[in-house]
Structure 1
Amino acid sequence: MSGAATPVAADTLRDALARAYNDNPTITGSRAQQRATDENVPIAKANGRPSINANGSLNENLIRGGNSFTTPQRNGQAQLALNVPIFQGGAVKNAVRAAETRVEAGQAGLRGTEASLFTEVVGAYNDVIRDEAIVGLNTQNVRVLDTNLTASRDRFQVGDLTRTDVAQSEARLSLARAQLQTAQANLIASRENYIRLVGAAPGVLEAPPVLPNLPASPDTAVDVAIRNNPQLLAAQRARDATAFDVRVARASRLPTVGVGVGQNYQNFFGSLGAGQSTGGSGVPQSGTSTSVGLNLTLPIFQGGRPAAQIRQAQALRAQAIENTTLAERQVVSSTRSAFAIWRSSLEVIKSSETAVSANRLSLEGVRAENSVGNRTILDILNAEQELLNSQVTLVTARRDAYVAGFALLAAMGEAEARDLGLDGGPLYDPAVNYDAVKNRIMDYGTGDAPQPIAPSTVSVPAQTSVVTRPLDPMLNSAVDRNAPLTTGENSPNR
């Protein structure tokens, strides 16, 4: 699922999300962690399965007493033992259930990782669009103020303006250039953050699609989030797993029963009875034996260890219960906050669109009035700044509304790969690995050697602040900026 060595820039939000879904190291690392969690189930099951062990020894007695029957010179032994656990106080059963429940928690957590990553990508995508617009607006503003300064100097030469008017124009142009530098730096930072998340440089990004299924009220959103939020589900499953941990700890005080079957072989290599007066030639030098037994272990006193383990498991369960309440509070808070920001940003968009239109008309009027001497250069500069501010507010509100809307869907559990219809191949299913490993019993079955999935971004060129995206017509100020020069005849006395 790794991407190509030379990534191709994503032009749509869906492309960006698909690339991050396949290649982002946060999510690929989380998938590897989940695969490790899956292995806890066969590990827990192994404690309740039969085991076979073989061992052998060869001893050479360098110093012996007089009786070679009790201390032969050489002694070799080999043993093959089969142990079958029958009863372990419920420890294995509950350990398996705890591991299975934590697998469910991990799978829910993986869904949460997807949603969090996608929210970051949506934010980074819209940050680039916003900052490109702000750079375009500031570039437009610098160009306009530069034209204003040129006109002011020309009018100063014919006596239509004073030196103060020119100084005001120069100061405002210098400030606009500083603002442009800041906007360009912010754009570069946004593009680099996009590369960190997506793994490729942003191209000319298209406007993001309309978000579907947004709720009508915060209560509706919270109801859905309580049922579907993956982080809350993960906390609930982790809480449930601790109940089995307590049962495992209690099992340490109960007896265990097992059946043992052993096959033994022993060889003295002709050294048993050697040198005795009766002669050792007729003494058997090797032999085998088979044993079957029932093993019972009844704990009587363990120094307080079981009680401490039970108290520890109960305390961890108490922590998990509180963590679930914490997760629920966080879900409620984030859902309501995202809803409020989303609805507020929609209102800001409406107000800003009105403000942009009004400020554009105001600027036209101020320029027209200045041409007949009823407005000063400072009035024009202020009108220019007010228009710019309203335009920046508009693009920022558009970004905030979209990101908050997506964050709201993520809190409701409806912003994951399965909800977004991502292209680029089949979706990752953590259940596939779990089903493949949960019942494995072979000691020598191993997985594939780990290989990097997420590509490096070292080869991606450093980003610049060059903007090729055209300004939204709503933001483009088609105003006659070049006021005609006058002789000063109609200007107020300065």
Structure 2
Amino acid sequence: MRLTGVLTVASAFIAAGATARAETLREALMIAYRTNPSLTAARAGLRATDEGVPIAKAGARPTVSATADYQEFVVRSANSFSAPLRATNASANVSLPIYQGGRVRNGIKAADARVEAGRETLRGTEADVFTAIVSVYMDVIRDSATVDLNRQNVRVLETNLQASRDRFEIGDLTRTDVAQSEARLELARGQLELAEAQLGASLENYLRFVGVPARDLEQPPELPNLPGTAQDALATALDRNPQLLAAQADAKAAGYDVRVAAAARLPRLSAVASGNYNNYLGSLVSTIPGRTFLQAQRTATVGLSATIPLYQGGLPAAQVRRAQALSSQALEQIVFVERRVVADTRAAFLRHRATLAVVRSSQSAVSANELAVEGVRAENSVGNRTVLEVLNAEQELLNSRVQLVTAQRDAYVAGFALLAATGRAEARDLGLFGDELFAPRLGDHAPRLPGGSYGPVDEAAGSTTAANESSGPS
């Protein structure tokens, strides 16, 4: 059952449907969910992991084999009493495992645990990709605003320079004032070039992660119901963080591997049956007068086959020790990942709170600098302020506005990173596709994408890249 906060997050992200070129954050996430190579590669890796379950189950199922031969006797022995010219042979063998020492049963459990770990790893990859997309999305918005602010600043400084030159012509200002205006304008043009270069880099990063060019990006929706305290964030992270859940599943699988290795010391019992059919196609004749042979014969056997290990050169003992060491490593990995999750979650919470404080202070700074610029300009008009003081005030206003858009970007990215740390930043949590997601169906291990596919969806053609289902009996 989903948390109330998750439902609120989903409702906040529900907007217009995705188009060929993303304009909203939700559309960008939807496109990346279908086409991002990191996600599609992770899904392919999960499908490969899923195949471990039917592979493990195959060890408990009967095996049936059949062979058929046709032979022509080109050279025959001169001392043989019978000399067939040709022969056909067919045989069938059936083997049913009865007792494997627990190897198959524990192997299936280990494979199931690895599928669970693979799904959690895919969740982590999805959250990482979405966090990166949110970051590049906000980078484009921030850098676009920065370019606009710098362009506006260049226009203001151009107007100031023209006014300074006009006042110099009438003797109201000195040549020094004009030079200061010119210098500040050239610096502003240089800052504009840097801002445009940074925007170009952000647009390339957006194309890299989303797969389509950015165009008229809208402001993203708010991130509602973020954890109110560090303790709430930590409790949610310990319960839902995919990295921690994957480590726990890996440790479970390693524990079953120890039992699989120990089963190599135990006997194995199978029921076997075989049947054979030989036919000499009428070519079996006797060199003894009056002696004839049957041209065809059939045989069938049933029984039990037991394999009892007596001495294996120390191989099972070494395999058990190795499995036990790997199991210990997996248990220690849980502790390591848990500590990292705790540290990352607390750091994300503190970073988000800090960036919100920076946003508030930057807003206050912008308001104060706007008032200061108006005052300095008014005082300059009556001769109480110099041109340099006006230029400095305008630069302070520009810096505070750039700091504000940067702080807003940092706050949003930090908030989404906090959602990711608590395990609530995936497509299901954000309500991108409703219930049609890359998720396992009940009763098998085959994940699906929207539209019921097993691979990336081609929206233009409406086709899917499908992979074979891999379901096995329970």
TM-score w.r.t. the length of structure 2 is: 0.86
- Output the CA distance in 1 between the equivalents of 2:453 and 2:85: 49
Bigger shift: residues 377-386 or 73-82: 73-82
Q: Give the C-alpha shift of residue 71 in structure 1.
A: 7.5
Bigger shift: residues 266-275 or 380-389: 266-275
Alignment-derived partner of residue 344 in structure 2? 334
Equivalent position SS for 2:305:
strand
Q: Give the C-alpha shift of residue 24 in structure 1.
A: 2.6
| Structure 2 gap segments, 5+ residues each | 1-17, 461-474
Alignment-derived partner of residue 345 in structure 1? 355
- Output the CA distance in 2 between the equivalents of 1:218 and 1:428: 31
Bigger shift: residues 156-165 or 97-106: 156-165
5 Å matches for 1:292-441?
A: 292-422=302-432, 424=433, 426-432=435-441, 435=444
Q: Give the C-alpha shift of residue 300 in structure 1.
A: 1.7
- Output the CA distance in 2 between the equivalents of 1:242 and 1:301: 26
- Output the CA distance in 2 between the equivalents of 1:16 and 1:63: 76
Alignment pair present for 1:201 and 2:210: no
Mapped contact 1:246–1:310 kept (Cα < 8 A): yes
Q: Give the C-alpha shift of residue 7 in structure 1.
A: 5.1
Alignment-derived partner of residue 274 in structure 1? 286
Q: Deviations over 1:377-422 (max 9, x none)?
A: 2212211111111111111111111111111111111222222222
Equivalent position SS for 1:435:
coil
- Which amino acid letter does the alignment assign opposite residue 261 of structure 2? A
- Which amino acid letter does the alignment assign opposite residue 126 of structure 1? M
Q: Give the C-alpha shift of residue 39 in structure 1.
A: 1.8
Q: Give the C-alpha shift of residue 434 in structure 1.
A: 6.2
Mapped contact 1:231–1:327 kept (Cα < 8 A): yes
- Output the CA distance in 1 between the equivalents of 2:226 and 2:441: 32
Alignment-derived partner of residue 256 in structure 1? 268
Q: Deviations over 1:82-122 (max 9, x none)?
A: 11111111111011101111111122222222222221222
5 Å matches for 1:136-151?
A: 136-151=148-163
Alignment-derived partner of residue 180 in structure 1? 192
1:93 pairs with one of 88, 100, 105: 105
Q: Deviations over 1:337-372 (max 9, x none)?
A: 111111111111111111111111112222222223
Q: Give the C-alpha shift of residue 26 in structure 1.
A: 2.5
Q: Deviations over 1:218-253 (max 9, x none)?
A: 222112101111121111111111111111111112
Alignment pair present for 1:191 and 2:203: yes
Alignment-derived partner of residue 31 in structure 2? 19
- Output the CA distance in 2 between the equivalents of 1:71 and 1:252: 48
Alignment-derived partner of residue 283 in structure 1? 293
Q: Give the C-alpha shift of residue 435 in structure 1.
A: 1.6
Equivalent position SS for 1:83:
strand
Q: Deviations over 1:158-201 (max 9, x none)?
A: 23223222222222111111111111122222223223333333
Number of residue pairs the alignment of both structures matches: 439
- Output the CA distance in 2 between the equivalents of 1:359 and 1:31: 51
Bigger shift: residues 221-230 or 428-437: 428-437
- Which amino acid letter does the alignment assign opposite residue 357 of structure 1? S
Equivalent position SS for 1:86:
strand
5 Å matches for 1:478-489?
A: none
2:135 pairs with one of 110, 123, 136: 123
Mapped contact 2:428–2:437 kept (Cα < 8 A): no
- Which amino acid letter does the alignment assign opposite residue 205 of structure 1? L
Q: C-alpha root-mean-square deviation of aligned residues, in Å?
A: 2.6
- Output the CA distance in 1 between the equivalents of 2:81 and 2:97: 38
Bigger shift: residues 173-182 or 362-371: 362-371
Classify 1:33/1:125 alpha carbon distance in 2 versus 1 (closer, same or farther; 3 Å): same
- Output the CA distance in 1 between the equivalents of 2:233 and 2:50: 32
5 Å matches for 1:47-58?
A: 47-58=59-70
- Output the CA distance in 1 between the equivalents of 2:102 and 2:419: 42
Alignment-derived partner of residue 30 in structure 1? 42
- Which amino acid letter does the alignment assign opposite residue 428 of structure 1? L
Alignment-derived partner of residue 254 in structure 2? 242
Equivalent position SS for 1:327:
helix
Mapped contact 1:370–1:376 kept (Cα < 8 A): yes
Alignment pair present for 1:134 and 2:146: yes
Q: Give the C-alpha shift of residue 374 in structure 1.
A: 2.6
Q: Give the C-alpha shift of residue 58 in structure 1.
A: 3.4
Equivalent position SS for 1:159:
coil
1:44 pairs with one of 56, 59, 66: 56
Classify 1:449/1:128 alpha carbon distance in 2 versus 1 (closer, same or farther; 3 Å): closer
Q: Give the C-alpha shift of residue 455 in structure 1.
A: 7.8
- Output the CA distance in 1 between the equivalents of 2:446 and 2:22: 36
Task: State, as a whole percentage, how many aligned pairs show the same letter.
Answer: 56
TM-score w.r.t. the length of structure 1 is: 0.82
Mapped contact 2:369–2:393 kept (Cα < 8 A): yes
1:9 pairs with one of 16, 21, 26: 21
Q: Deviations over 1:430-482 (max 9, x none)?
A: 222862769xxxxxxxxx998754689xxxxxxxxxxxxxxxxxxxxxxxxxx
1:157 pairs with one of 163, 166, 169: 169
- Output the CA distance in 1 between the equivalents of 2:158 and 2:459: 45
Classify 1:434/1:122 alpha carbon distance in 2 versus 1 (closer, same or farther; 3 Å): farther
- Which amino acid letter does the alignment assign opposite residue 67 of structure 2? N
Alignment-derived partner of residue 180 in structure 2? 168
- Output the CA distance in 2 between the equivalents of 1:449 and 1:136: 43
- Which amino acid letter does the alignment assign opposite residue 376 of structure 1? T
Q: Deviations over 1:273-310 (max 9, x none)?
A: 632x3454x12232100101211111122233222222
5 Å matches for 1:39-78?
A: 39-69=51-81, 74-78=86-90
